[in-house]
Structure 1
Amino acid sequence: MAHPPLEGRSRTLVTLALSLATFMQVLDTTIANVAIPTIAGDLGASTSQGTWVITSFGVANAIAVPITGWLAKRLGEVRLFLIATLGFVLSSLLCGIAPSLELLILFRVLQGALAGPMIPLSQSLLLQSYPPQKRAIAMALWTMTIIVAPIFGPILGGWLSDNWHWSWIFFINIPVGIASALLTWRELRHRETTTVQLPIDKLGLVLLVLGVGCLQMMLDRGKELDWFHSGEIVLYGIIALLSLSYLMVWELTDHHPIIDLSLFRDRNFSVGVISVSIGFMLYFGAIVLMPLLMQTQLGYTATEAGLATAPIGILPVLLSPVIGKNAHRLDMRVVVTISLLMFAVCFWWRYATFNPEMSFIDLALPQFVQGIALAGFFMPLTTITLSNMKPQQLASASSLSNFLRTLAGSIGASLFTWQWEHREAVHHVQLTDRISLYDDTTRQALGSMQQLGMSQEQAAAMLARDVTRQGMFLGANEIFWLCAILFVVITGLIWFSRPPKAAAGAAPVVDAGH
């Protein structure tokens, strides 16, 4: 049974409650990025292992998204939202008190799985609370929380890590989540949606969890175990390949597929999903890599790294409402093209300027300009992706798009950190080959350091550290160069889609682009 829209104070409180939950969930995807070196050091792990804190959350979150629709129909949207929000609070507490990296990753998996339903349900419940003519305003308010959270995430995560303890990046979810759940229960407990006992694709779910889980384990563990020279990595690879291959065959024949692959028959959906997945993989990989580069090679504190990365959220706050308001007048392919080209420009900018002597403004300025790209990326690409979907296909299409985008982000984080370390090792060998006691430049460098009071051993150690540092920057710059090229390639792909037709005043279904 459809409930009438809310009015006045109740609608305001529901908007606040759902926005708090969305803000908390999106904040949690970025707040840990700048704290990874601190977390890894405190728990006795390498920085590379510390990135599992991000990828484990992302994979679990991605897997949970496709089953959100089924769970919502079985339990009711309000009840599922409350379970997910309170579960998120409990798992945040467990993350904060985790005594080891292994337990922290386990609790992050739990947190990511519980976070899966929160964003799609907050969007759905919010739209149900507003009359049709005001739903565009509701979506604008909802989208603002998604855009603002990445500004505060790196700053807050850095400040808490430097001045308190990294546990507080998880503990701050507790009061926010409880407030959101209490307000939601108070205002929406009498507005539960109709429940239906639908069958679930159990085999599809098992294959999905097994395939995606083993794929991510292969990517995370591969860089430590020398990839396919390790029997463990070979096993992960075989299981992932067989599970995902069989999943694709099974989902095309099952009557209630957990992933509706038939949606890819639509050209706009295929182009949109491929573009947003590749684009988000490159974008998210970079926002994981950059704080690591700043803290390990430039000596930045977590707070300084957060302040340097946060400017990316400023321009989207200003531009996203303008794009949304004029969506019905714009060809979204043009908007996405401008966005992708701006991403390419910013990555090329980093490739050309990143070096060990760079200043804070050299780091922050490309981030600020990249905000133009971010503003024209998520909502326009979602409009293209869902433009030809029938009403009964929207939930499945949005879930599948969210699943692939979130999974791509986790893969990007793993690939970027692996490739960064791999290229550093290559450049380290190349640079070391040029260093010799028989080389005049090397002798002069060592002599200069010894004149400053260093012993011969200290001078040699300083030279070795500089070689490693140069290798890290060269490796990062190669990644930025490749990203710039790939963004240009995606720009050509987007023109294979047909121009979407948006109705004036319509509220677009927005993927949560964190």
Structure 2
Amino acid sequence: MNNLKRSLLIITVLMAAVMELIDTTIVNVALSHMSGNLGATLEDTTWVVTAYAIANVIIIPITSFLTAIFGRRNYYIGSIVVFVVCSFMCGSAGDIWTLVFFRFLQGLGGGALLSVSQAVIFELFPKEKQSVASAIFGIGVFIGPTIGPTMGGIIIDNYSWPLIFYINVPIGILAATACYFLLTEPAIKPKVNKIDWTGIALLATGIGSLQTVLERGQTEDWFATGYITVLTITAIVSLTGFVIWELKIEHPVVNLRVFRSKSLTIAAILTFITGIGMFTSVFLTPVIAQRLLGFSPTQTGFLLLPGAIIAIVGLILSGRLIQSGVSPLMVVAAGFMCFIYFNWNMSGINFDTSAHTITINLIFRALGMAFLTVPLTMLAVSSLPPADIPQGAALNNMMRQLGGAFGISAVNTFTARRMAVHRTDLLVNITNTNSYAVGRLNSLISYFEHKGINPIDAKIKAMAVIEQTVVKQSAMLSYVDAFAMIGLLFAMALPLLLLVVKSPKNAAISKMVIADH
């Protein structure tokens, strides 16, 4: 393949991966608009996010198997077509459950766009330049979820929510057409074996149940709800059975034996933690900006944009540093320190915090992602034989998605409980003996009476305002607590880095990872 075709193929598969990743977050700022337009509750509308995540996590680990069955070219192009068609159907949906159904199918189509894209990019680079491939793919991994809210905000403020899905159609058609002419089968074709239907069923049941529990547990009050309890038991039994079954049979749908690679195992753990930080920060920041600080969807989206731009430079820089002989340990440690610094700063924000301050904080978050993506992605696949790279890449990508789902679920639970604690602490101070509280109440009563409201109703309204203030303050305190908790998690993970990489004796990237023997 000549350099022009090679470059065009890299751009094409990266574009497809970015398109898929954008859809993981682009709907976050549009849920309330969808809810009102489709006549659904906000709780039901969140299934638009849940359905996509469930489908993604189910399909990602079996992309290697599906690639072997259908051929990489056919499966990849077919997945783009499914993604595009379902994107159009999502935008055309007339009710919430039609939207959820096609959103699930869209997630099934999108699953291949991440793992196969990564495998193609790594295949196009020689072993000694794998860090460059990792940096290029890292651009998509990072930029997609980050610019999703920005794009969503602009679309919601200026157009309508269906355009969030329609925008995928021309991009997908272009990507599918380019792949038809440029994409070929891998040099080493995976062997097609007997279809492991048992493994597929156990995986789909287990991951689907687990993801639903993680996404809906807090909303449904966890085990106080019958179906959450049932799904938790189902997830445990199915996933345990899946692991046992896949390690037992000769030709599993997901080759868990690749985890014999020490580097892949450690990379998967650290990628899981990175996924927590990556997705929770994108989740918490828009919530604080819109619900507490009063930013518009567009303003909220643009908070993340400067960091996304700077991260591109950081990704390229980190790849070049590793290739030039800088210890990957230093790069990974720098990434974790940036994340710790970001969360520490965000744990100190309040209602007077400016958009500029949040944007600066998010730049450190972006640099953290940039410094982590290259060495961790490289670590996951560089010690694997070529035939196992697609499986290793798929499992590592799944860990990032699971980390995000787990992180958001944990944050939702944590903030809900901390909100109750902070509310109680604040209400203790609102008493007849607190001169500030009494003065504030009397001031509000006088204000409403001045507006012509009778004294009884004026007091009721004044109490409602104070209640609203307590709720907002409790929410802010709980969210900054969440940032502190995530920062602590990254700090606790730092010792794991000592097991990941060691300083290379030369610039060869193959020396970056821990040897498996």
TM-score w.r.t. the length of structure 2 is 0.88
- Whether the 8 Å CA contact 1:55–1:413 is kept in 2: the answer is no
Deviations 1:458-492 (A, max 9, x none): 22111111011011111101111111111001111
1:207 counterpart (202, 206, 210): 202
Q: Structure 2 vs 1, CA of residues 20 and 225 (structure 1 numbering), >3 Å: closer, same or farther?
A: closer
Q: Are residues 1:6 and 2:11 paired? A: no
Q: Where does residue 331 of structure 1 map in the other structure?
A: 327
Alignment of 1:401-416 (within 5 A): 401-416=396-411
Per-residue CA deviations over 1:93-118 (Å, capped at 9, x if unaligned) read 12222333333332222111111111
1:151-190 equivalences under 5 Å are 151-188=146-183
Q: Distance in 2 between matches of 1:402 and 1:427?
A: 37
* Pairwise CA distance, 1:351: 0.7
- Asked if 1:456 is matched to 2:495, the reply is no
Q: CA 1:41–1:218 in structure 2 vs 1: closer, same or farther (change >3 Å)?
A: same
Which residues of 2 match residues 95-110 of structure 1 at below 5 A?
95-110=90-105
CA contact (8 A) 1:76 1:192 kept: no
Distance 1:290 1:147, change over 3 A: closer
Is the counterpart of residue 270 in structure 1 residue 273 in structure 2? Answer: no
Q: Aligned to 1:466, which of 466, 469, 478?
A: 469
Do 1:84 and 1:115's aligned partners in 2 also have CA atoms closer than 8 Å?
yes
Query: 1:311 touches 1:364 (CA, 8 Å); kept in 2?
Result: yes
Q: 1:412 to 1:42 in 2, by over 3 A?
A: farther
Partner of 2:347 in structure 1?
351
Give, in whole Å, the separation in 2 of the partners of 1:507 and 1:102.
49
Contact 2:73 2:185 in 1 (8 A): no
Matched residue type, 2:329: R
- The answer to whether 1:75 aligns with 2:70 is yes
**CA-CA distance at 1:174 after TM superposition:** 0.6
1:237 equivalent in structure 2 = 232
Listed as ranges, the gaps of 5+ residues in structure 1 are: 510-514
- 2:515 paired residue number: none
Q: Deviations over 1:240-283 (max 9, x none)?
A: 11111212222221212233333334333222211110221232
Q: Is the CA contact 2:279–2:404 (under 8 Å) kept in the aligned structure 1?
A: yes
Alpha-carbon distance in structure 2 between the residues aligned to 1:134 and 1:41: 50
Question: Which residues of structure 2 form unaligned runs of 5+?
Answer: 450-457, 513-517
**Contact 1:33-1:287 at 8 Å conserved across structures:** no
Q: Does 2:425 match 1:430?
A: yes
Look up the equivalent residue of 1:346 and give its one-letter code: F
From the superposition, tell whether residues 309 and 430 of structure 1 become closer, same or farther in structure 2 (CA, over 3 Å). Answer: same
Per mean C-alpha deviation after superposition, the further-off stretch among 33-42 and 247-256 is 33-42
Shift of 1:139: 6.1
- 1:32 and 1:122 map into 2 onto residues whose CA distance is 23
Q: Is the 8 A contact 2:188 2:387 kept in 1?
A: no
Does residue 479 in structure 1 map to residue 482 in structure 2? yes
Letter of the aligned partner of 2:488 in structure 1? Answer: I
3-state SS of paired residue (1:220): helix
Q: CA deviation at 1:129?
A: 6.2
Q: Is the 8 A contact 1:356 1:469 kept in 2?
A: no
Say if 1:340 and 1:141 are closer, same or farther in 2 by CA, change over 3 A. closer
Q: Is the 8 A contact 1:387 1:501 kept in 2?
A: no
* Post-superposition offset of 1:20: 2.6
Shift, 1:390, TM fit: 3.3
**Aligned-pair distance for 1:175?**
0.8
Query: Contact between 1:286 and 1:416, CA under 8 Å: does it hold in 2?
Result: no
Which of the numbers 348, 359, 365 marks the counterpart of 1:364?
A: 359
* Partner SS for 1:416: helix
2:307 corresponds to 1:312: yes
- Secondary structure at 2:25 match in 1: helix
Letter in 1 for 2:343: F
For the residues of structure 1 that align with 2:200 and 2:226, how far apart are their CA atoms?
26
| Corresponding residue of 2:416 | 421
- Name the count of aligned residue pairs: 503
Q: Check whether the contact 1:336–1:376 (CA below 8 A) recurs between aligned residues.
A: yes
Question: What is the rounded CA distance, in whole Å, between the counterparts of 1:195 and 1:398 in structure 2?
Answer: 15
In structure 2, the partner of 1:300 is 295
1:217 matched to 2:212:
yes
Match status 1:24 vs 2:19: yes
Amino acid of the structure 1 residue aligned with 2:459: Q
What TM-score, normalized by structure 1, do the two folds share? 0.89
Farther off after superposition, 206-215 or 52-61 = 52-61
Calculate the aligned-residue CA RMSD, in Å: 2.9
* 8 Å contact from structure 1 (residues 37, 295) kept in 2: no
Residues 446 and 459 of structure 1 are in contact (CA less than 8 Å); yes or no, is this contact kept in structure 2?
yes
In structure 2, do the counterparts of structure 1 residues 232 and 153 end up closer, same or farther at CA, with 3 Å as the change threshold? closer
Which stretch has the larger CA shift, 288-297 or 186-195? 186-195
1:493 corresponds to: 496
Kept in 2: contact 1:222–1:233 (CA 8 A): yes
Give the letter aligned to residue 76 of structure 1: G
- Give the match for residue 197 of structure 1: 192
Superposition deviation, residue 320 in structure 1: 1.2
Task: Report % sequence identity.
Answer: 28
Deviation track 1:211-262 (CA, whole Å, cap 9, x = no partner) reads 1111122233322332212222211111111111212222221212233333
Alpha-carbon offset, residue 176 of structure 1: 0.7
Residues of 1 paired with 2:335 and 2:245: CA distance? 37
Task: Give the match for residue 342 of structure 1.
Answer: 338
What is the distance in 2 between the residues matched to 1:427 and 1:420? Answer: 10
Aligned to 1:512: none
Q: CA deviation at 1:32?
A: 2.1
Q: Is the 8 A contact 1:11 1:130 kept in 2?
A: no
Deviation at 1:446, TM superposition (A): 1.2
Write the distance in 2 (CA, Å) between the matches of 1:73 and 1:325: 34
Deviations 1:370-423 (A, max 9, x none): 222111111211223334333343232222111122122122223323332332
CA gap of 1:425–1:45, structure 2 versus 1, over 3 A, is farther
**CA-CA distance at 1:179 after TM superposition:** 1.3
Look up the equivalent residue of 2:499 and give its one-letter code. Answer: F
Separation in 2, partners of 1:268, 1:408 = 18
State which drifts further: 470-479 or 423-432.
423-432
Instruction: Out of 135-144 and 500-509, give the one that drifted further.
Output: 500-509
Q: Secondary structure at the match of 2:24?
A: helix
The answer as to whether partners of 1:285 and 1:409 remain within 8 angstroms in 2 is yes
